[in-house]
Amino acid sequence: MRRSTDRILVSHAGTLPRPPQIAELIRQGPAGAAELTRVLPGAVKEIVRKQLEAGVDIVNDGEIPKRGTFSSYIQERMQGIEPRTFAAGEGPPPRDVNGRDRRDFPGFFAAGLGGFGAARGVFGGASATRPEAGERTLQFCTGPLKYIGRQGVETDIANLKAAVEGVDVEPWLPAITPGTVEHWLWNEHYRSDEEFLYAIADVMHEEYRAITDAGLVLQLDDPDLPDGWQMYPDLSIDEYRKYAQLRVEALNYGLRDIPTDRTRFHTCWGSSHGPHKNDIPLRHIVDVILQVKAECISIEASNARHGHDWTVWQDVRFPDGKSLMPGVVGHSSDLIEDPELVAERLVRYAQLVGRENVIAGTDCGLGQRVGHPEIVWAKLAASAEGARIASKQLWS
């Protein structure tokens, strides 16, 4: 994995603005498949060019080829899943990553506030199919899970490798973790949560291996680790730590033969535009996060709820050989961070974990979180300028 001994490198957490043409072809499904295959390589090359123009050193494909979200894309790459549609009031209760906040601020959520509507962050909520009718579609595991996504991931790999050919950057691709798949997949086949999670890990292992065997860095997307706390509001801290521990163990099983130095781990608190008053504090789970078999830890760190989390590293020894990618620009606001503020954040982290161990990151994927593509690219440019300012201070 790329490291630097003379400046702070710049990356980001995932999604970037999807070109309208690509979005429309994906929406068309099979009818748009042939044209999507034709135009996607050029679109990925353009998204890489824009990252380079903004000053990003460690680039991806912006997740623009994925159908669905950063998480639900895997539905078409897994066998053993069955969708079912329920009328209002039927089916299992939704899993809500705003659960504790929704209890404290019912009026806020009932009013549809928060930027993405009342059901934002609800897995299996009314918005999943026809919100006006209260219908929702849930995914159920009804048989042995099997990976059937080889063609999809190989296409993603080929398009990204072609886009970075001849360019001095490090490419990476994201993949989802077992715990986050479990958010939206109801188990009807496996005998226990542990057996279910390990089965998902076996499936994901094939995607992880495909990415790293191709010479790309693998990013593990795992908002589950912190945001499950809100999903299960009756759990105590100790009970939740056991929940998180099992999911890290399942993830590490999925990473069992993946080189640690080809892996980075991204986590955040669900990224919904809501109060986040009840986010679990980082200090309660930081030791669990550090158990993940990944060289780099990417973590939400810049917004009004988590901007103070740098203080955790005053008391927690950062492991040798790892790097830290704190979010220094965020998704929770369209305000563009001043590069001096970005530099201040980076210098603070560098003083705690070592300047060679810090990479400038984002709190979450920006592509679907801020109001306009222009804001995304301006935020990444601010991150790159802030990294230049911080590097001058740290290596002067």
Q: Which two tokens stand for residue 122?
A: 């609800």
What domains can you pick out in the chain, each with its CATH number? 9-71+150-394 (3.20.20.210)
Residue 190: pLDDT over 80: yes
pLDDT at residue number 122: 52
| pLDDT band with cut points at 50, 70 and 90 for residue 120 | very low
Q: What is the 3-state secondary structure (H, E, C) of 292-317?
A: CCCCEEEECCCCCCCCCHHHHHHHCC
CA distances from 314 to 254, 290, 348 (A): 31, 15, 10
Four-CA torsion 370, 372, 378, 380, nearest 10 degrees: 50
| Torsion (CA) 197, 199, 200, 201 in degrees, nearest 10 | 90
- What per-residue confidence (pLDDT) applies to 68? 78
Please, are residues 171 and 160 in contact by the beta-carbon 8 Å criterion?
yes
pLDDT at 273: 85
Q: With helix as H, strand as E and coil as C, how does 204-218 read? A: HHHHHHHHHHCCCEE
Look at residue 118 in the predicted model and tell me its pLDDT: 36
Number of H helices, E strands in the chain: 13, 13
277-294 tens-digit pLDDT: 999 999 999 999 999 999
Question: Which token pair is 142?
Answer: 């009804």
pLDDT at residue 112, rounded to an integer = 83
- What tens digit of pLDDT does each residue of 38-96 get? 999 999 999 999 999 999 999 999 999 998 787 788 999 999 999 999 998 899 988 88
Q: H-helix or E-strand containing 144? A: strand 136-147
Q: 114 pLDDT exceeds 70?
A: no
Inform me whether the pLDDT recorded for 134 exceeds 90.
no
Q: Whole-prediction pTM value?
A: 0.94
Cα dihedral across residues 224, 227, 231, 235: positive or negative: positive
